[in-house]
Amino acid sequence: MNNLSKVKSILVKKTLKLDCGKEISNFPLAYETYGRLNEKRDNAILVFHALTGDQFASGINPVTNKDGWWNYAVGPNKAFDTNKFFVICANVIGGCMGSYGPSTLDPNTNKPLGTDFPVITINDMVNAQYNLLEFFKIEKLFAVAGGSMGGMQVLQFVSNFPNKTKVALPIACTASHSAQNIAFNELGRQAIMSDSNWKDGLYEEKNSNPDKGLAVARMAAHITYLSKKGLQEKFGRKLQERSDLKFGFDADFQIESYLRYQGSVFVDRFDANSYLYITRAMDYFDLTKKFNGNLSKAFEKTKTKFFVISFTSDWLYPTSENRDIVIALNAIGAEVSFVEIKSDKGHDSFLLDVPDFLNTIKNYLNATFLELNETRI
């Protein structure tokens, strides 16, 4: 796996009881920050990453030497303006960029935990990251924000800690994982576990890696992040560096080559067991379960201002599922705004250069920060 010597982390000494019933303590939580925390400590935004993200939301990831996953959105004068806000992003527990996860060494054996790592949930991820508020001595965040699985964490955070953020931005997400999305995740997990190099999750200590299975999992998932129109316009039936079909099973079409490339580069930066655990956490996510199917009750104790965002071409977490969140918030009289951004880039729209989306967030955050500060004065 990657060299994590350049990763910042805190050691969470408190005992965290997981939803599976197990308890963990003295575990690492890796994080990164952007911007500066002001004297009042009221300009902090906690950003939650999606399935294959990490704490390096902006700039250059010092481990992979690649751009941060939200480079379009986080930085000076960007949507999350680090000239104004202090942005914190952590690697979720279960991840593979320095936080407690399957690749963490077991102190008793000095071997990676592998599948001895406990099954975790979105709730567990959020409760672990809450420790960052204490670490930075932040009484209340200005905002929490995230897309996809990051949006699920936003919803869970506000439900768990109703008075700890002024603003919440759940983007392109859902309050409970659908059967379709569980099916896609199961396809990816089976691809990994069917790879002979997976070795029941003990591949690291046996010097192997289920890279073929993980690549296929990534290829399958990547299709769900795009839109039919976007794929057709970008690739259509264009051939890959050839004038005619080769009548074989090499990559005749550009889309085949593109997917194979996406799979191959993914295995260099991500851990297969982490993929299993994090997709499982997403599938277990159902914010209504604790409240007898009533989503409104998950938020009835909060005064947080919500801004829910969806995209027209997102069929993985469609506008209808985002609108259900808005309806639940309206039912309890919560302060909520909603916008559907027109984009042909599919679910990945929140990660890409979509000016309407980025400008909408920037204007909303700047106006709300000014409004809340004026109100307090």
Predicted pLDDT of residue 377 = 43
- We find that the CATH architecture of domain 8-177+287-376 is 3-Layer(aba) Sandwich (3.40)
Q: Is 347 a catalytic residue?
A: yes
Q: Is 222 a catalytic residue?
A: no
Q: Are 275 and 217 in contact (CB under 8 A)?
A: yes
Q: Is 148 a catalytic residue?
A: yes
> Which of the residues 103, 148, 159, 313 is marked catalytic?
148
> Which of the residues 271, 314, 344, 348 is marked catalytic?
314
How many angstroms separate the CA atoms of 122 and 173, rounded?
A: 13
Tokens describing residue 77: 């004068």
Q: Are 10 and 28 in contact (CB under 8 A)?
A: yes
Torsion over CA: 243, 249, 250, 254 (sign): positive
Helices (DSSP H) in the chain: which residue ranges?
A: 122-129, 131-135, 149-160, 179-193, 211-224, 228-234, 254-266, 272-284, 319-331, 355-376
How many angstroms separate the CA atoms of 41 and 88, rounded?
A: 13
Q: State the DSSP code for 267.
A: T
- Which residues face 338 on adjacent strands? 308
Tokens describing residue 22: 């197990």
Residue 182's nearest CA partner among 279, 272, 115, 94 is 279
Taking the CB of residue 19, how many other CB atoms lie within 10 A of it? 15
pTM of the predicted structure, to 2 decimals: 0.96
Tokens describing residue 16: 């965290």
Residue 351's nearest CA partner among 67, 38, 23 is 67
Determine the 3-state secondary structure of 260 from DSSP.
helix
Q: Token pair 């993980």 is at which residue? A: 214
How many angstroms separate the CA atoms of 71 and 154, rounded?
A: 20
> Which of the residues 42, 347, 348, 349 is marked catalytic?
347
Alpha-carbon distances, residue 247 vs 51, 81, 253, 309 (angstroms): 36, 52, 12, 45
How many angstroms separate the CA atoms of 216 and 104, rounded?
A: 24
Kindly give the parts of the chain with pLDDT less than 70.
1-2, 375-377
Q: What are phi and psi of 50, to 5 degrees?
A: -90, -170
Alpha-carbon distances, residue 118 vs 92, 121, 276 (angstroms): 14, 10, 12
Annotated domain spans of the chain: 8-177+287-376, 182-278
How many angstroms separate the CA atoms of 162 and 288, rounded?
A: 16
CATH code that applies to domain 182-278 = 1.10.1740.110
Q: Are 1 and 275 in contact (CB under 8 A)?
A: no
How many angstroms separate the CA atoms of 288 and 282, rounded?
A: 14
Non-local (6+) Cβ contacts of 71 within 8 A are: 57, 58, 59
